[in-house]
Chains A and B, each alone.
Chain A
Amino acid sequence: MRNPLSDIVVDIKPSGIRKFFDIVSEMKDAISLGVGEPDFDTPWHIRDEGIYSLEKGRTFYTSNAGIKELKEEICKYMMRKQGISYNYNKEVLVTVGGSEAIDIGFRAMINPGEEILIPQPCYVSYEPCAILAGAKPVIINLKAENEFRLTADELRDAITDKTKLLVLPFPNNPTGAVMSRKDMEEIAQVVLEKDLFVMSDEIYSELTYQGEHVSIASLPGMKERTILINGFSKAYAMTGWRLGYACGPAAIIEQMIKIHQFAIMCAPTTSQYAALEALRNGDADVKAMRTAYNQRRRFLMDAFRKMGLECFEPYGAFYVFPCIKEFGMTSEEFATRLLAEEKVAVVPGNAFGDSGEGYLRISYASSLENLKVAIGRMEQLIKKIRTAKEGI
């Protein structure tokens, strides 16, 4: 029999997260701080709207790009949050989660061999999606000394004459890093100068704890060069609804819609109606969740300080990214010991790229009670390791 598989797909490395997941799922009583989704339930009024839409019999396909009302609400949201004016009819596409938008965005923009710049550590999908789109992914290793922000110099150094697109994943999963307006302006300047495009993944935009999130698309000349990706998963605790969207130049969105209509048809109808309610009446929910996350974030930073564990203060998403290099172990070794000896699951930083080696992603999308217990256990392990080291 012939080989039934695609070489390109076979060559893609399986996710480092998956590997760790298999170990963790064996341990039933472990506390997990490895979860990359909100611990809150979707606010009831949003769920209720989903139920209501089912009751009304809205069980059919919607138009490919999404229902008109939702696209209009997305445009209003972009205007009120970022001051960016999008045309609902031509510049917005409702997708199956932000992830679909990443995939089809790459596919709509890339010719074989063109390069996509991917700053790491980052969400695990960009690199494989880039490869599947026929691009050559070029990794930019972000540095702890810059608090894992992308600098203009790092960007400049990575650009070749094949570079087409920059992925800008801030607020960042897994580091929690955010980019200030000034940081964004410096990046935008290089992008304009070198005639690049940007895919700005802003799925965590509502979860920033110092100042407001700044979208690079809101900077002069950048709307024309940016595919802005956002969605409902993180802001409204709607991960399972699988609903995101892309906003961008009509020419790119038009091609994305083409892929979307052939591969997906349309995003789930129930989710679209629920999302409409989220955008119309969900601001207070977002604020309440953001406040709770911020309290947990402060608790963790305080706990790390007391433990003497090195960690820059992240102001976005719901992750902290402490450094464990002092223990002379790899991230995986540390995470494995933390799980085996103290029954706390975290994700080794290297699962998000080589530059995450020496770090752990700790998610605070978990109740304060859980965090307290888990951090207490982590401290136990750290004491044990430090005592053993002193013994030598």
Chain B
Amino acid sequence: MREELLTVIEKNSRIGLKELAVMLGAEEIDVVNEMAALEAEGVICGYHTLINWEKTSLEKVTALIEVRVTPQRGQGFDSIAERIYKYPEVQSVYLISGGYDLLITLEGKSLKEVSNFVSFKLSTLETVLSTATHFILKKYKDHGTVISQKHDDEREMITP
């Protein structure tokens, strides 16, 4: 049940427990217990909403920042990652293989806010060797969902 449950709620976390139980062919109480276990184990980390901010009046700028750092003795990349992810405007921090070390996504109100973060907070960290900032111009697809495009059913109404 676990894998199927996760697949369903990954796409729709608002689904009711009763309905979820019916769809999985399980008892409601078992679904409740499994969800609680998944939360306790840290498999389920949160229930978020995918928002297309472009359709609101709120201005938001998102940037991807590649960061090269010097790993620290005994701590590797963990402590530098922690220093970075503690900033609330940082949306995600990934350790990356390849040409640089950390990939950060950052959300700000304006270009200036993002560039201020990079120049004054990020670049000034002792272990940061260099940064490269890419601003996101348009989101086509996010979290497996195609943004803004509505998909019409092109099938014939009745087919054998």
Listed in ascending order, the chain A residues whose CB lies under 8 Å from chain B are 15, 17, 20-21, 24-25, 30, 32, 34-37, 39, 123-125, 173, 288, 291, 294-296, 298-299, 302, 345, 347, 351, 368
Contacts and interface: CB of A to CB of B under 8 A. Distances in A.
14 contacts: A24-B158, A32-B157, A36-B160, A39-B153, A123-B160, A124-B160, A291-B7, A295-B8, A295-B23, A298-B24, A299-B19, A299-B23, A347-B158, A368-B23
Contacts of A345: 157-158
Interface in B47-98: none
A36 B25 CA distance: 24
Contacts of B23: 295-296, 298-299, 368
B73 to A, nearest CB: 43
B36 interface: no
Nearest to A38: B155
Q: Chain B interface: which size bin? A: 10 to 19
Contact of A291 (B4, B19, B156): B4
Contacts of B7: 288, 291
Contacts of B159: 17, 21, 34-37
Contacts of A347: 158
Interface string B126-160: 00000000000000000000000000010111111
A351 B160 CA distance: 9
A315 B158 CA distance: 22
Nearest to B151: A41
Contacts of B157: 21, 24-25, 30, 32, 34-35, 345
B22 interface: yes
A20 B72 CA distance: 72
A304 B158 CA distance: 22
B25 A298 contact: yes
B25 to A, nearest CB: 5
A298 B22 contact: yes
B59 to A, nearest CB: 32
A296 B22 CA distance: 9
Nearest to B15: A368
B99 to A, nearest CB: 28
